[in-house]
Amino acid sequence: LDPVAVGALTFRTRLATELLTTSPTVVRGNPSEVLSLAGATGTARGVDSVTDSASALTSAFELAGREGTTVAVSGAVDYVTDGASVVGVGTGHALMTRVTGVGCVLGALVAACCAVEETPLVAASAATAVSATSAVPVPSMSTLDLSASAVLVTCSAM
């Protein structure tokens, strides 16, 4: 479940809350989306997060435990929790939080990893690691290169 714009748009908040009752394997969102879905108020601004991932970790942990799911919070540091354990992936780049579509790509990676790994915490952690690693700056790069070719080259070198 990718609760895009939860908290900012009433319709999306209602829909995501309803979808949460279907026991999704993984909930993946930015900090504002996770905070809103967990019940915090005044945290969302459309699809943009207004807080960092660490500040949403407690809410993610509680949401995962309460709903029996795994929650992945994306940010400069990604966190994945199943309500019992927490995995932090800190190899990403702060610019990734400002590039439209990175969260959607991460959602697709999470789904792909869940298809081949039966433990959602492991699957979501692997997906966030692949996503974060794709943004590790090469010493000669002055900017973050998120082009498809750069991501494929980085992933194939892993």
DSSP states of 47-92 as a string?
TEESS-GGGGHHHHHHHHHHHTSEEEE-SSSEEEE-SS-EEEE--S
Q: What is the mean pLDDT of the chain?
A: 83
Are the C-beta atoms of 47 and 30 separated by less than 8 Å?
yes
- Per-residue pLDDT band for 50 (boundaries 50, 70, 90) equals low
Confidence (pLDDT) at 155: 56
Residue 148: phi, psi to the nearest 5? -55, -40
**Of 23-37, 45-59, 78-92, minimum mean pLDDT range:** 45-59
Mark 32-56 as b/e (b = at least 16 C-beta within 10 Å): bbbbbbbebeebbeebebbbbbebb
pLDDT at 29 over 60: yes
pLDDT digits over 139-154, tens only?
Answer: 554 555 555 566 555 5
**pLDDT mean over 110-130:** 96
CA distance 52 to 62: 17
Question: Average pLDDT for residues 40-60, to the nearest whole number?
Answer: 70
Structure tokens at 137: 């700056």
pLDDT band of residue 110 (cuts 50, 70, 90) is very high
pLDDT over 60 at 45, yes or no: no
Confidence band of 76 (pLDDT split at 50, 70, 90)? confident
**In whole angstroms, what is the distance from residue 13 CA to residue 36 CA?**
8
CATH architecture of 10-156: 3-Layer(aba) Sandwich (3.40)
Residue 16 neighbours by CB under 8 Å, 6+ apart: 1, 3, 6, 37
Classify residue 99 by its DSSP letter. Answer: S
Enter the pTM of the model. 0.80
User: Which residue in the block uniquely carries the two structure tokens 């699957």?
Assistant: 123
Domain boundaries, the chain: 10-156
